[in-house]
Amino acid sequence: MSALGLDDSDMIVANYIDVVQAKVQVNADGTIVEKMEDVKTKKDLKEEYGMKDHSEIGKEWYEQMAAWEAFTVGKTVEEVQNIPVKEANPTHQHVPDLPELASSVTITVEGYQGVMAKAFENATK
């Protein structure tokens, strides 16, 4: 999910992104075993998400997302879409390739750029 705050010149003044990766157990009849209120977002999970041990910068997902969100403030959505990316490894093919993000954001950002573009499109209709 993405929520953007924009000023009159379409500069980002606030950016909020969160993700749910729900692993939901379903009965044979199609009913969901786990209640949706038991499903947490990545920001809700914080350290429970378990990325810190696998991160070369030692940061959890919510910490990296906070850095990404802060970095996008003061930019246009178009500028965010044009941030150079690199392939860090086969599962991380769109990692920001900017020195100012090297120590704070190693997550793949193309999906976040995409939801930001959709949020911008919806906001400016």
* Residue-level pLDDT at 51: 93
Q: How far from 83 is each of 16, 28, 79, 86, CA to CA, in Å?
A: 18, 45, 7, 10
Has residue 35 got a pLDDT over 90?
no
Percent of the chain with pLDDT over 70: 97
For the stretch 64-123, pLDDT in tens is 999 999 999 999 999 999 999 999 889 889 999 999 999 999 999 999 999 999 999 998
* Residue-level pLDDT at 24: 75
- Which of 22-26's residues contact partners 24+ apart within 8 Å by CB, and which partners? none
- Say how many domains are in the chain: 1
Which domain does 113 fall in, by range? 2-123
Cβ–Cβ < 8 Å for 55, 103: no
For residues 112, 54, 21 and 29, what is the CA-based torsion angle, rounded to 10 degrees? 150
pLDDT band per the 50, 70, 90 thresholds, residue 22: confident
